[in-house]
Amino acid sequence: MRKVLTYLKSYALWIVVCVALLFGQAMCDLSLPNLMSDIVNVGIMQSGIQDSAPKAISEDAMKLMKTFMSDADRKRTEEHYTFVAAGNPDYTKDYPESANKNIYILNDDAPAMGDVFGRAAMTFMNFMKESAVQSGQQSDAVSDSASMTEGLENIDFAPLYAMQPQFDQMPPEAFEAARATASAMDESMLDQVGTVMVRQFYTELGVDTGAMRSSYIWITGLKMLALTLAGALATILVGLLAARIGAGIARSLRHDVFARVESFANAEFDRFSTASLITRTTNDVTQVQLLLIMGIRMICYAPIMGIGGIVMAVGKSVSMTWIIALGVLVLIGLVLVIFSIAMPKFKMVQKLVDKLNLVTRENLSGMMVIRAFGTQKFEEDRFDRANGDLTKVNLFVNRVMVFMMPAMMFIMNTISLVIVWVGAHQIEASGMQVGDMMAFMQYAMQIIMAFLMIAMMFIMVPRAAVSADRIAEVLATEPSVKDPEHPQSLEGKAKGRVEFRHVSFRYGNAEDDVLHDITFTAQPGQTTAFIGSTGSGKSTLINLIPRFYDVTEGEIRIDGVNVKDLTQHELHELIGYVPQKGVLFSGDIASNLRYGRPEATDEELNKAAEIAQAADFIAATEGGMHNEIAQGGGNVSGGQKQRLSIARALVKKSPIYIFDDSFSALDFKTDAALRRALKENTGESTVLLVAQRVSTIMNAEQIVVLDEGRMVGIGTHEELLKTCDTYREIAQSQLTKEELE
């Protein structure tokens, strides 16, 4: 996983941009509940009045409020309010009744005064309540703490102003009990009472409080809309950037995996199956890409929302934070249970995908054999088993994940009910406002959703980690065949002399060698043929020359230079290779023939086709050289495929030609004609020919006979008939006595 994550370095700047955008989005999302709370508390409940200290107050109201202030609060008020005589034109527009009344205006540089007026208003309420109780009457101003604000909204100040001389006559001690009770109350309650009093003061001065309410709600609503749009824009940008980052890294991973696979020798292909390499290049890379796209958003966004939501929720109500803590603990427990159940299955999925791909690939490539043996039902059952195993695991994982969502919704709804229940009691006790309870509920949902996103990442990461490890395994596999640090070069002057010096070879992890002490020299201008029984090591020996495998002991030299001292590119440029099984690529005939030499002319293509005995059937096709070749050469016969493969090697004009049993699909007539043409046109090139038929190689200048990986004979056809029993047995099994003579 760590190796795959190193690909993020090249996108570090964009990741930082994503984090910044996510932080901005989180701030927008966290601000919305606060603004919603302000609309309810300030806009609706307080008529848009944000401060419990009035910006303007009549002279009579000021005298009344000072009566219930402490000496310190009274001094602060006198310092920060300025007396304005009635009729001052600077204030009559905002406060129409100031034309007839003296007022006090709060100074622009004054500090927050809400606590002063809040305590004064609450002291007034407490004093009126105590007075009503003592007189045995119900106060018109207030009946109990739950209806304080309602009582203030209906209060008539005129009788109170008339009672001002009586208040002035009372000793200061008369208000101490009411003032002490007010000072002990929650600040939010003092603020509520203060703002209701301020609204009454503004109404007294002719202010349209209905317009204030509408204005505040509109402005706050527009702020919410702006924040929502900003958050949506951040979401879109993060989604776009995350998609580009994920796609870019996926592209780089696929490129590097493909490049590494291209550098593999046959030993590495023996370790990784073709189906597994395809899965790793496609499905596994897709899993990592999905993790990056989701992870860039969730991994960064969820912690910000979780931590920010907790801070905001605590600011709204410390006493209810236990609800969030309980919900988070239940959520974590649920996720851990689901994680422990699903995690082992995630590790199985990719292996089962490998198995399904393997079965599918074998069925498609071996369809003719399957039909010939009538085993369609067996293969269908085999596919059904692989498909069923994968389906069962996926269904199990999906059932576990499906259970998670309703469980999460149940937890969220339960928490909402608990918040409403507890919050309602606190509102009744004047310990919380309605808007704050609504905001707290939203913050709780945001916190739970943040933990849910983190939980989802804990589920996604293991599956992607399995895929990332599989990709990293390919990337970390060093090819067994490497270019030398200080390569030699034949500088384009190679003659093609191939020399084996005491070469032995064994496959990886094998106990015994498959080739033992092979020594011979193939001269330019001559054909060196290899023959032997099946499994004698002919193809293995040939594959050592282009370094598909490296020799275990000894060395192979071309013009005196060890093949290990040449770069693989230069070595392969020296060789025209025709594999045992002809392989063609999708395209047309011309593109296949030019595969090793793109600059080849049409004349050179036609000449190579004539030598390979392919000109007639190419001319017979509708498009000639431009006739389309299906994937894998499916629209040509085995013999045609071999002849086109031979023509492709001839177009390259290499000093060395290797034919690995490349004439097996040709009839005897075509075989003979092709060998004659090769002899006439390969010039000074070295021809190395593996064959099963003695008739194919009997005219070779040198024949190497192999038996169980050992060289048991070397010479011409006539010499080997006399000196090599193995060759004689092969020849006698294929040719008549007259043909041998």
Instruction: Give the tens place of pLDDT for each residue, 236-292.
Output: 999 999 999 999 999 999 999 998 888 887 777 778 877 788 888 888 898 889 888
Q: In a 3-state reduction of DSSP, which class is residue 268?
A: helix
Say whether both 574 and 471 belong to one domain.
no
Say whether both 192 and 316 belong to one domain.
no
- If you write DSSP's letter for every residue of 435-471 in order, what string do you get? HHHHHHHHHHHHHHHHHHHHHHHHHHHHHHHHHHHHH
Give the mean pLDDT of 66-71.
Answer: 89
Tokens matching residue 510: 């094998």
- Residue 92 inside a domain? The answer is no
Task: Give the domain extent around 572.
Answer: 498-740
CATH of the domain at 30: 1.20.1560.10
Say whether both 136 and 227 belong to one domain.
no
CA 220 to chain CA centroid, nearest Å: 38
pLDDT score recorded for residue 142: 41
Say whether both 666 and 730 belong to one domain.
yes
- Residue 482 inside a domain? The answer is no
Residues in the chain, overall count: 741
- Residue 439 inside a domain? The answer is yes
Q: Is the pLDDT of residue 139 over 50?
A: no
Instruction: Round to whole Å and give the CA distance between 387 and 364.
Output: 16
Instruction: Round to whole Å and give the CA distance between 713 and 724.
Output: 6
Position 143 confidence tier, pLDDT thresholds 50, 70, 90? very low
Say whether both 569 and 674 belong to one domain.
yes
- Residue 691 inside a domain? The answer is yes
Position 688 confidence tier, pLDDT thresholds 50, 70, 90? very high
Say whether both 701 and 651 belong to one domain.
yes
- Residue 489 inside a domain? The answer is no
Phi, psi values for residue 117, rounded to 5°:
-75, -30
Q: What domain count does the chain have?
A: 3
pLDDT score recorded for residue 135: 65
pLDDT digits (tens, 9 = 90+) for 576-593: 998 888 788 888 889 989
pLDDT digits (tens, 9 = 90+) for 201-221: 888 888 888 888 898 899 999
10 Å Cβ neighbour count for 184?
8
Say whether both 227 and 363 belong to one domain.
yes
Say whether both 512 and 607 belong to one domain.
yes
- Residue 94 inside a domain? The answer is no
Say whether both 301 and 432 belong to one domain.
yes
pLDDT score recorded for residue 500: 95
CB 91 within 8 A of CB 98: yes
Residue 107 carries which side chain, given as an amino acid letter?
Answer: N
Q: In sequence order, which residues have a C-beta less than 8 Å from that of residue 195 and are 6 or more positions away?
A: 42, 46, 49, 50, 51, 52
CATH of the domain at 719: 3.40.50.300
Give the mean pLDDT of 192-206.
Answer: 85
CB 454 within 8 A of CB 320: no
Query: Which of residues 175, 191, 209 is at a domain's end?
Result: 209
Position 351 confidence tier, pLDDT thresholds 50, 70, 90? confident
Say whether both 256 and 381 belong to one domain.
yes
10 Å Cβ neighbour count for 489?
12
- Residue 493 inside a domain? The answer is no
Position 454 confidence tier, pLDDT thresholds 50, 70, 90? confident
Say whether both 432 and 459 belong to one domain.
yes
DSSP H/E element including 105? strand 103-106
CA 386 to chain CA centroid, nearest Å: 27
Cα end-to-end distance, the chain, whole Å? 68
CB 145 within 8 A of CB 225: no
Residue 437 carries which side chain, given as an amino acid letter?
Answer: M
Query: Which of residues 150, 185, 209 is at a domain's end?
Result: 209
Give the mean pLDDT of 416-421.
Answer: 88
| Measured CA distances, 477 to 249, 256, 264, 449 (Å) | 20, 12, 9, 41
Q: In a 3-state reduction of DSSP, which class is residue 601?
A: coil
| pLDDT, greater one: 156 or 563 | 563
Say whether both 472 and 374 belong to one domain.
yes
Position 555 confidence tier, pLDDT thresholds 50, 70, 90? very high
pLDDT digits (tens, 9 = 90+) for 492-506: 788 889 999 999 999
- Residue 21 inside a domain? The answer is yes
Residue 528 carries which side chain, given as an amino acid letter?
Answer: T
User: What percentage of the chain reaches a pLDDT higher than 90?
Assistant: 20
